A = this chain, B = another copy of it.
Amino acid sequence: MNTLTKDGRVNVDNGSNHVSKFAKKIEITRSASDLRRRYQEVRALSERLCEPLETEDYVIQTMPEASPTKWHLAHTSWFFETFLLEPNISNYQSAHPQYNYLFNSYYNAVGPFHCRPKRGLLSRPTVREVYEYRKYVDALMVELIDHADARKLDSLEPRITLGLNHEQQHQELLLTDLKHVFSENPLRPTYRQRGIAKVNPVPPVTWFRFEEGIHSIGHGGSGFRYDNEEPLHRVLTNSFLLSSRLVTNGEYLAFMRDGGYQRPELWLSLGWNVVREKGWQAPLYWEKQICDWRTMTLAGMRDLCLEEPVCHVSFFEADAYARWSGARLPSEEEWEIAVSGVPVEGNFVDNEVYHPAPLDSQTADPAQMFGDVWEWTRSPYSPYPGYAPVPGALGEYNGKFMCNQFVLRGGSCATSKSHIRPTYRNFFPPDARWQFSGLRLAKDVK
């Protein structure tokens, strides 16, 4: 075990490692500095995303599924504290004895936790205290990394990488939750101003054909992945067609004008219930103004851009649109087959646009597979054949949510580019709309 000295520095316990530390010095330094740099970059992005915020914006929770910004900032730090600092520093002193209770999200194995829908009822710790908490954790994490020898680094690296990916997920949620906070406010605050670009017509849809066959699905290589992407396994799929691009606002508007939200035959039974109970008439954040639609973006209220990919639709709406258009949603396996060889490039959070962008021109591959909007698939979120969660608290990360959710693929304008992969499985309940979620069509080959 490492030790936390009285002046707050870490004595890293490098285990029974008796080889000459000097001999490996250079190599260690390079690996440690790389890890430290990655750590600091990801952690810094969380704070950079908060730069436009007022203190008050950090505190609000506008629905049970969302969390206050300051909770995201604290929870991601708690993750490093709980899964890195505590197990690796002897006599580790937490920044505050109740932070474990307050900032544990759902890990039953780590103890009781504060009820999720009550996260917005806490004025303390203050935003300043949360940033101090981050600093406290960051200082110790950097020490932990810097004082680890090679063998130690090898054991730390996977968990730190998990923690960084975890933080990237919360960065996306931070933006989508904040967008929801702003949407509840009649003042319609703006996150970041952005100019309105000139938009070209969107290329018409063409269909890419993929042949029947046995394909390998899931992650089998090296590099980071969540356990839900494993194991690599083979599936037999029929031939299918996949649309060359995402469905646009203009196309979705045609569905609406054709009575899309009034025709039960287009909807799953549960979806139709939701439409009526919640009075859905359009995607989330669309607002009708006399006869024109406007939409709330992180850059403020905008006229609806018909060329942009439709966004903030639920699985139910995506599925109804697909049925209306005579097509269907792709399965997650089909999506993964189609993306094989397509480079991971697109409109990610790194672009600092925070909104899906119209397609400029069609490429040789299906376009917009990565970034812009998460694409709903028709696949319920289920374990892959042979899936087994990792043991311990981290096994609660994915597996226990494999029920009543649907898989989304490809990342969005709020996702970090370094976070996404062809095998990445995102998942949300079928009525969730506050993510940057859209759709692409598929068809059977008759």
Contact = CB atoms under 8 A, between A and B. Distances in A.
Given A55-B55, A265-B109, A62 B386 contact: no
B181 A56 contact: no
B181 A123 contact: yes
A403 B269 contact: yes
A234 B236 contact: yes
A102 interface: yes
Nearest to A106: B269
A235 interface: yes
A120 interface: yes
A56 B268 contact: no
A-side interface size class: 35 or more
Given A187-B125, A236-B234, A59 B62 contact: no
Contacts of A109: 265
Nearest to A58: B56
Copies of this chain per assembly:
4
B268 A121 contact: no
A186 interface: yes
A289 B253 CA distance: 36
Contact of A403 (B70, B123, B268): B268
Given A55-B56, A234-B236, A430-B403, A121 B269 contact: no
**7 nearest A-B pairs in the assembled complex, by CB-CB distance:** A380-B380, A108-B264, A56-B123, A236-B236, A57-B123, A269-B400, A404-B404
5 contacts: A54-B123, A55-B56, A56-B59, A60-B120, A124-B185
